[in-house]
Structure 1
């Protein structure tokens, strides 16, 4: 029934044979797209779910990652492997918006549109320091970083079961939370600020050539709606801004059908 539903949707909006590249957020892996990827494939499309370094089933351990370029290297390697004339639709969630932004800078001719889902987004005048300062100001103390190590500075972070349940999965099915708790892995912290800024620099000349769409998760607690609006205001212009109601931070779990519908419609336009 689900396959038929999305085949019909794909037929009526006239989008066929697209290639979607899905980039996960922190602690998670390619597995987090299992619902959306299934729906897109059922509608007749090619789907690649990226496994960033140290995530999901990646053999790389978090302590082996010393720079953000190492973290996003599998994604960039994939983008380099695309045929010269092929264009893909990039979809990034949460922190996955950072490597998405870098890919837009490196491969603007290979991307038809970039979709950011309750995500962090870079721009020519907007970098990591802006995010940390603003989030800390809004929340009192930064909930972005919960360190699991004793190093100084810590090399990795991981959200515990209670925080995942209350701040990321509060509207998602219980079975998806159970899945998440069994599969999440520590996320590397990038402590060399100069290197971090160098490896995430984007320019209007290249990154700015790719159309951007932002999807707001209305009930997100980790990145509240006003924070998402602040991101949009500082990293635009966007060709479209969509809103999904009743969704938590893990939109691909809490509202997978609505999210997939938006992605298909965006693919048709761009």
Structure 2
């Protein structure tokens, strides 16, 4: 049973805390304390993307959650997809409050390059056919981050191919315009060895992910080795398609590190 172990689930771009509903339910039933916050301009957060100019602004709800933890409390942070960068930022700022950072088929930065590096490598390497994804500037001056919205084809073929039709319908109706914040992340200094670099990290590979494919997930692990690597045979939306397996995996990680 989870006891007092606290797991914080961090969603990816265009999603929200709702994407964890199956996994959060299972973990809570097993006795874990679970939070799945909506990041800024995501889920039911009322702000539009144009009011979230930086990645730190976007991640602020997670940072506020950690800042409010009582002294001595430590959490297991789980980042999915772009949520991996939010988890890294949180670990950089609050390393003493993070028992472990878990990257679930997620972008995982290192401490050598700027935080944008993994995103730039992903785009430059043409690891994904973006299909009907819509990316466009938010303002004529280019001061705001480029917006991003996934279309129905890429969702169906690259992200949700193992999900039920009901889950695809639900997810499609709850998607919101987001951003990868590459411009802002490229202007930031690398994370530090004493902050993010001091936190224990676990990578969970999803071997049937057509969004962030296994080859790129493996490259990130080779580039920035972790405590351990686990694997689930799942698509990118593993929390919807394989919730039982993922909940067991995260519970086991929490028991080991928290």
TM-score (norm 2): 0.91
CA distance in structure 1 between the aligned counterparts of 2:185 and 2:78, rounded to whole angstroms? 22
Q: Give the aligned partner of residue 21 of structure 1.
A: 8
CA distance in structure 2 between the aligned counterparts of 1:124 and 1:222, rounded to whole angstroms? 24
Q: Give the aligned partner of residue 73 of structure 1.
A: 60
User: Does 2:219 align with 1:230?
Assistant: yes
- Cα distance change of structure 1 residues 155 and 89 upon mapping to structure 2, 3 Å threshold: same
Deviations 1:26-75 (CA, angstroms, capped at 9, x unpaired): 10000000000000100011111111000000010012111111111111
Q: Is the 8 A contact 1:101 1:122 kept in 2?
A: yes
Q: Is the 8 A contact 1:63 1:155 kept in 2?
A: no
Which of 14, 19, 43 matches 1:32?
19
User: Does 2:202 align with 1:217?
Assistant: no
User: Does 2:155 align with 1:168?
Assistant: no
Structure 2: stretches of 5+ with no match in the other structure: none
CA distance in structure 2 between the aligned counterparts of 1:224 and 1:242, rounded to whole angstroms? 15
Q: Where does 1:1-270 land on structure 2 (aligned, <5 Å)?
A: 10=1, 15-126=2-113, 127-139=115-127, 146-147=134-135, 155-190=146-181, 193=183, 195-199=184-188, 201-236=190-225, 238-245=226-233, 247-270=234-257
CA distance in structure 2 between the aligned counterparts of 1:37 and 1:140, rounded to whole angstroms? 29
Q: Is the 8 A contact 2:82 2:180 kept in 1?
A: no
Aligned residues: 253
- Cα distance change of structure 1 residues 143 and 225 upon mapping to structure 2, 3 Å threshold: farther
> Aligned-residue CA RMSD in angstroms?
2.1
CA distance in structure 1 between the aligned counterparts of 2:152 and 2:86, rounded to whole angstroms? 26
- Cα distance change of structure 1 residues 32 and 69 upon mapping to structure 2, 3 Å threshold: same
Q: Is the 8 A contact 2:127 2:213 kept in 1?
A: no
Instruction: Please state whether the residue corresponding to 1:222 is helix, strand or coil.
Output: coil
Structure 1: stretches of 5+ with no match in the other structure: 1-9
- Cα distance change of structure 1 residues 204 and 170 upon mapping to structure 2, 3 Å threshold: same
